[in-house]
Amino acid sequence: MGAQEYRYDTEVVRLFYDHASTVVWFPYPVPYEESGLSPTLVADLQAWGRLHDTGLDHEQQWRSPELPAMADEQRQGLAHRLGDELGSAFEVEFDVPRGVWFGPRKTSYRSSEPPTNPEAAAIFTAWADEARAERAELAQRAAEGWSSDESFGWYAVQPDSGQKFVPRERPTQE
């Protein structure tokens, strides 16, 4: 995996509805009470989630024709507010409006300013730092395995028999 994939646990905060207790993901669902986000923004994020909870039927179809546009309009505003609270260190990714049938399906917003909510920015930064440290530790462990010619840092186990499979050659680096 290249560095691009790691952006989702170090700098890209996603805003989307997915039947979770939150609509903010970094890279997993972010509990509002742990996020440090302002109470006003949290209340509006929760209301946007409820719009989906009540507005979508069991087949994920909108119950009323005006609801998709309402959800789209609110999503963009919420993404910008979230981005402003977190500041320029974070990019907020969100879906494009449903009526757009060309181009990318996602777009993003990154504030050019410092965070308007330094507490929330510090919490998200700490999570990003933890992810970077975990990546560095895994890379170090893999490098140690490669230098010892034991398992090159990884192996697979067959669930039924427990047989361990170790690669015979060192994998190529990206």
| Highest-pLDDT range among 31-45, 142-156, 158-172 | 31-45
Q: Is residue 145 part of a domain?
A: no
Question: Rounded to whole angstroms, how far apart are CA atoms 138 and 135?
Answer: 5
Question: Rounded to whole angstroms, how far apart are CA atoms 18 and 158?
Answer: 33
Q: What is the predicted pLDDT for the residue at 139?
A: 76
Q: What is the CA radius of gyration of the chain?
A: 21
Point out the least confidently predicted range of 26-35, 96-105, 125-134: 96-105
Q: Which structural domain range is residue 23 located in? A: 3-128
- Mean pLDDT confidence for 105-128: 96
Q: Is the pLDDT of residue 11 over 80?
A: yes
Question: Rounded to whole angstroms, how far apart are CA atoms 130 and 31?
Answer: 17
Q: What is the predicted pLDDT for the residue at 1?
A: 46
Q: Is residue 8 part of a domain?
A: yes
Say which residues have a Cβ less than 8 Å from residue 94's Cβ, sequence separation at least 6: 14, 15, 16, 75, 76, 79, 106, 107, 108, 109
Q: Is residue 140 part of a domain?
A: no
Q: Is residue 149 part of a domain?
A: no
Q: Is residue 117 part of a domain?
A: yes
Q: Is residue 139 part of a domain?
A: no
The pLDDT-based confidence of 167 (bands split at 50, 70, 90) is low
Q: Is residue 25 part of a domain?
A: yes
In the chain, the number of structural domains is 1
Say which residues have a Cβ less than 8 Å from residue 122's Cβ, sequence separation at least 6: 36
- Mean pLDDT confidence for 47-75: 91
Q: What is the predicted pLDDT for the residue at 141?
A: 73
Q: Is the pLDDT of residue 85 over 50?
A: yes
Site of tokens 């320029």: 88
Q: Is residue 141 part of a domain?
A: no
Q: Which two tokens stand for residue 5?
A: 């994939």
What letter would DSSP give residue 109?
E
